[in-house]
């Protein structure tokens, strides 16, 4: 989560990388192809179903290197002449095999990091094939994890190696051969992570035990179902585990585990771990069942700030207390188990479904814990951070860089603006309809229960269709007005002759019939805005307050003035 972790407030933009993170000057650079992610699939990749990845990875801290054997199972959906996966050219391939037979070096190539292996004969649709790739080397070092990712080779306060991966912006091909796309999720990934025996290696999914080889090395074994490709994570360090169980409102029992550095203060560890069941209860009540309850709710302390690694979320917030009543980083990363790992965007252009809905869970959680005042504070902080330079959703396929980088795409607006749009939608259609729409979006059904759903892909259009089906109305105007326009809707007010006249203007001039609450001398009434216009009678000396509960996201002079003032202060 390079930019993902910045969502909580605009002030977080001042966060710096960990002191142990290498500088860009020391980085051995990958190819531009490898550093990009969410690019179009090749015809071969479209014709392959990725059934399973079995990754045997030795992490060698002394050399900042890895030695890997990857065994990948595919089934042809259409006749296949070649297998195509992605793997960084910084890693040297020593062997390529198909179904146990070595492939001659002139039958495979890895230019720019796209590994193409020619098959001896056409693989018919419906038949399976096993690709084995052995490789080793020093993987890309993260210049500034998690924003600019790769491997973080660090040292714990007690002196032992402390290692993590964070590759959301660059993709899984930084260290394992994968289909570097949201649509490249394998059905299962088995991990066999070998590390020095004094260290631990918590990872994704269920723990299958460890094997001490008696030579100073120990292998940790894990298995994870349908993992998000960039969510596969290596975490190596002098960890201790705190474990427990959560009894879900849906009848199942969910394992909880937190791997923390052995040097941490026990009181801080226990205080953070005590937040786990509270967050589980909130998300299960607000969205639905924890999607990976048969594996675990897992968190691991990392030498970078954080990332939503499925069932092993990275946590590097240092147990900070900021008056929220909860750890914002832990809560945000955990939100991605629903918005990102269970629900995965069809394309990066739909990334606000991850980040916006995930970010909205923070104001809602603040209310769950402490009441409306704390929810409104979170929403107000998000409102001050809006940029409004690019639409949240362009309507055209995008790469992650084209979305996350604010100089070419919406950037932080997919977080803050996405959250505020979600709030306005909930205020418009009501709690019950919003809850049902989000639940249908995430699970594909209104009645999710453990075992009756699977991870799925969603687009912004899917969400609109669901909202329309749930409400029985067409909210295309809402999605277009907020998501497809960079500028916020502008409300014009004219008061004369005992009448207050209101009019909406959107960036594209389209209709925007968003009704408004108007408080007149303490009495609130709703003004219909048919065709984007409305009016209400107002006594001459009456005090008028538009949208007293701040339900509707709109352009506001006070925010524009604040942002202009802050911009002017920067050179000083």
Residue range 401-413, pLDDT digits in tens: 999 998 999 999 9
Q: Is the pLDDT of residue 4 over 60?
A: no
Of 8 and 341, more confident: 341
| Coil/strand/helix, residue 434 | helix
Read off the pLDDT of each residue in 534-552 and give the average, rounded to a whole number: 96
Per the annotation, where are the binding residues? 332, 336, 355
Name the token pair of 266. 């026990």
Structure confidence at residue 305 (pLDDT): 97
Q: Where is average pLDDT lowest: 5-14, 78-87, 193-202?
A: 5-14
Strand ranges, E, within 48-187: 48-60, 65-76, 80-86, 92-98, 101-102, 108-109, 114-123, 128-137, 150-155, 161-166
Q: Is the pLDDT of residue 30 over 90?
A: yes
Q: Is the pLDDT of residue 23 over 60?
A: no
Name the class of domain 490-552.
mainly beta
Question: pLDDT class for 26, splitting at 50, 70, 90?
Answer: low
CATH of domain 346-483: 1.10.390.10
Report the pLDDT value the prediction gives residue 571, as an integer from 0 to 100: 79
Predicted pLDDT at 572 = 65
The length of the chain is: 572
Q: What is the pLDDT of residues 343-380, one digit of tens each?
A: 999 999 999 999 999 999 999 999 999 999 999 999 99
Reported as a pLDDT band with limits 50, 70 and 90, residue 28 is confident
State yes or no: pLDDT of 86 exceeds 60.
yes
Is 346-483 the same fold as 4-335? no
Q: What number does CATH give the domain 4-335?
A: 2.60.40.1730
- Output b/e per residue, 527-565; b: 16+ Cβ within 10 A: bebeebbbebebeeeeeeebbeebebbbebeebeeebee
* Residue spans per domain, the chain: 4-335, 346-483, 490-552
**pLDDT tens, residue by residue, 139-154:** 999 999 999 999 999 9
Report residue 27's pLDDT band, with 50, 70 and 90 as the boundaries. Answer: low
Q: Spell out the SS3 assignment of 196-253.
A: ECCCECCCCCEEEEEEECCCCEEEEEEEEECCCHHHCCCEEECEEEEEEEEECCCCCE
Per residue in 448-484, pLDDT tens? 999 999 999 999 999 999 999 999 999 999 999 999 9
Q: Burial level of 371, CB count in 10 A (0-12/13-18/19+)?
A: exposed
Q: What is the pLDDT of residues 165-174, one digit of tens each?
A: 999 999 999 9
Cβ(75)–Cβ(48) under 8 Å? yes
Residue among 272, 248, 443, 281 nearest 361 (CA): 281
Mean pLDDT of the chain: 94
Which pLDDT value is given to residue 467? Answer: 98
Bind-site residues for Zn(2+): 332, 336, 355
């Amino acid at each position: 989560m390079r930019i993902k972790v910045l969502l909580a407030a605009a002030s977080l933009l001042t966060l710096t990388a960990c002191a142990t993170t290498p500088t860009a000057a020391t980085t051995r650079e990958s190819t531009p192809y490898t550093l990009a992610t969410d690019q179009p699939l090749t015809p071969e990749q479209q014709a392959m179903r990725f059934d399973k990845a079995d990754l045997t990875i030795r992490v060698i801290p002394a050399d900042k290197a890895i030695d890997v054997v990857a065994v990948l199972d595919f089934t042809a959906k259409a006749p296949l002449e070649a297998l195509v996966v992605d793997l960084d050219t910084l890693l040297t391939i020593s062997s390529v095999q198909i179904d146990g037979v070595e492939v001659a070096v002139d039958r495979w190539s890895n230019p720019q990091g796209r590994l193409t292996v020619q098959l001896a004969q056409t693989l018919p649709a419906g038949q399976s094939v096993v690709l084995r790739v052995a490789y080793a080397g020093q993987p890309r070092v993260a210049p500034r994890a998690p924003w600019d990712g790769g491997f973080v080779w660090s040292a714990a306060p007690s002196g032992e190696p402390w290692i993590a991966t964070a590759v959301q912006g660059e993709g899984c091909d930084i260290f394992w051969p994968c289909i570097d796309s949201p649509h490249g999720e394998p059905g299962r990934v088995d991990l066999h992570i070998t590390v020095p025996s004094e260290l631990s290696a918590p990872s994704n999914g269920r723990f299958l035990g460890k094997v001490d080889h008696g030579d100073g090395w120990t292998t940790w074994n894990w298995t994870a179902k349908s993992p998000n490709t960039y969510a596969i994570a290596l975490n190596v360090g002098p960890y201790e585990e705190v474990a427990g169980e959560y009894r879900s409102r849906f009848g199942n029992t969910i394992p909880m585990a937190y791997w923390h550095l052995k040097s941490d203060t026990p009181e801080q560890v226990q205080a953070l771990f005590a937040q786990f069941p509270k967050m589980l209860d909130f998300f299960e009540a607000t969205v639905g069942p924890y999607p990976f309850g048969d594996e675990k709710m897992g968190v691991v302390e990392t030498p970078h700030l954080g990332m939503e690694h499925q069932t092993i979320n990275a946590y590097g917030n240092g147990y900070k207390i900021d008056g929220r009543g909860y750890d914002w980083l832990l809560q945000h990363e955990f939100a991605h188990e629903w918005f990102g790992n269970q629900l995965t965007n069809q394309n990066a252009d739909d990334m606000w479904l991850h980040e916006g809905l995930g970010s909205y869970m923070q104001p809602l959680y603040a209310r769950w814990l402490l009441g409306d005042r704390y929810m409104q504070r979170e929403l107000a902080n998000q409102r001050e951070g809006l940029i409004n330079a690019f639409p949240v959703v362009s309507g055209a396929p995008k790469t992650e860089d084209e979305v996350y980088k604010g100089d070419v795409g919406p950037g932080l607006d997919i977080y803050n603006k996405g959250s505020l749009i979600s709030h306005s939608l909930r205020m418009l259609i009501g709690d019950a309809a919003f809850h049902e729409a989000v639940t249908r979006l995430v699970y594909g059904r209104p009645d999710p229960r453990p075992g009756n759903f699977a991870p799925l892909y969603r687009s912004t259009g899917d969400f609109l269709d669901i909202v329309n089906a749930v409400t029985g109305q067409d909210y295309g105007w809402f999605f277009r007005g907020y998501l497809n326009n960079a500028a916020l809707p502008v409300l014009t007010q004219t008061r004369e002759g005992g009448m207050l006249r209101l009019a909406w203007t959107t960036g594209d001039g389209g209709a925007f019939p968003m009704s408004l609450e108007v408080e007149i001398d303490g009495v609130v009434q709703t003004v219909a805005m048919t065709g984007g216009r409305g009016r209400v009678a107002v006594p001459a000396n009456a005090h008028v307050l538009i949208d007293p509960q701040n339900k509707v996201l709109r352009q506001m002079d006070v925010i524009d003035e604040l942002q202009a003032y802050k911009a002017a202060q920067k050179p000083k």
